Chain A
């Protein structure tokens, strides 16, 4: 065994961690080499010193101080201890995300004062809902619903509405324009990819429109297999159907339309176009 090899095994020898054969070889190397022997002696001395002087008893009163500190702790296994242990296991990131979600929820709620706000006006009491409050809530809900559906539907026979059909309007100027945004806009649909595309294809059929790509090439509305690979399509429709189309798209996307940039397909003078983006 060479000196280098033996030197690297001195500590293991001191710890009694070398296999017998290796230990004998290292001991023979030590016997032959005074430097190695001196190093070995120094290591033995150091280890003995650590053993003898290294350990220090805990200060007097340590045990009592720890137990005093623990006196204010809930007993292990109690529900409070369990809850604290459980909470401490929740990663900080998750806690931050949850807090952020709550804040965002509050902000969204404040920015879109819906039925509840009207309900609050109708019934200022913060106590448990009374008959009057419940009635006001129903009225507010009905009012809110009426505000988002196509007003033309209200005048249609019930059987038409129940089928979910979007009825074409007879001519220009008869369509309410309150829900029609200005400029080039698009709608984003999060999830429900194929289902959304099918509904929009149906809508296109119903209003006499079509789904096209950026170059104006038409997708047949019900040929979902053809548009399945696309998450961007343009819905081209007669401008006099704008109210119906936007009302439907708002309802389906759950969003207001956003302004879009970039190229849009060329359409006729009496046509409009919206971008449809679908997350599949």
Chain B
């Protein structure tokens, strides 16, 4: 799931080398290697499977076009996640702007206004394999974006604190405190709704 444990830096470097030589199949391998991780990030950030798929696809197309600019200073995974994160941010900003414009054009319809200005992304029921998953996404939707981002990168993508700090250009202390606060908020939101049985393999 996500980044393969075998996807070492060396393997990534070899993949990049082949891609730069014009081997399209090598890029196909890269997509296979990172598609779950990128899609998960987009889905957990945006909350809508169709939009997440669109953004994840955009991420890979953008990466393909920019491959000549990848200098290998960061890990390939970090570079890909940074592209995905930028695209997710842009999408949310775009949606917020549209919601604001529509809000301004509404005369009086409090229910509609509430719907358009709710804090997080909409939870998409099609993506949930279980009730626990639905509850988790609903809780993630409640988090502010900066907290949702770090906790997803840490707990789902298994990124190290240092890697997250580099990716988001944040001090490591900020990353730690955001992860802590995000988990506390999630725990509060999920309190009484999930138990140890939900996390058993």
Contact = CB atoms under 8 A, between A and B. Distances in A.
A22 B66 CA distance: 44
Contacts of A8: 177, 180
B144 interface: no
Given A50-B156, A59-B53, A73 B68 contact: no
Nearest to B158: A51
Contact of A54 (B32, B155, B180): B155
**Residue in A51, A63, A66, A78 whose Cβ sees the most chain B Cβ within 10 Å:** A66
B164 to A, nearest CB: 11
A11 B176 contact: yes
A8 to B, nearest CB: 7
A56 B39 CA distance: 7
A42 interface: yes
A174 interface: no
B156 A51 contact: yes
Contact of A85 (B65, B136, B190, B199): B65
Contacts of A78: 22
A55 B61 contact: no
B44 A52 contact: no
A47 B158 CA distance: 11
B130 A66 contact: no
B20 interface: yes
B191 interface: yes
Given A62-B53, A66-B57, A53 B136 contact: yes
B20 A66 contact: no
B151 interface: yes
Contact of B64 (A49, A54, A63, A70): A70
Interface residues on B, range: 35 or more
Contacts of B176: 11-12, 17
Given A42-B187, A46-B186, A49-B190, A73 B133 contact: no
Contact of A10 (B1, B40, B180, B201): B180
A58 interface: yes
Given A11-B176, A58-B56, A73 B2 contact: no
Majority DSSP secondary structure for residues of A touching B:
helix
Contacts of B127: 56
Contacts of B37: 55
B53 A49 contact: no
Contacts of B100: none
Nearest to A40: B187
Contact of B68 (A43, A54, A65, A85): A85
A8 B180 CA distance: 8
B106 interface: no
A43 B184 CA distance: 7
B24 A70 contact: yes
Interface in B19-57: 19-22, 24, 27-28, 31-32, 35-40, 43-44, 49, 53, 56-57
Report, nearest first, the 3 A-B pairs whose CB atoms are least far apart: A50-B155, A42-B187, A54-B156
26 contacts: A8-B177, A11-B179, A12-B176, A14-B183, A15-B154, A15-B161, A39-B184, A43-B184, A45-B190, A48-B199, A49-B190, A50-B155, A52-B199, A55-B1, A56-B40, A59-B39, A62-B56, A63-B28, A73-B61, A75-B24, A76-B22, A76-B64, A78-B22, A85-B65, A85-B66, A85-B69
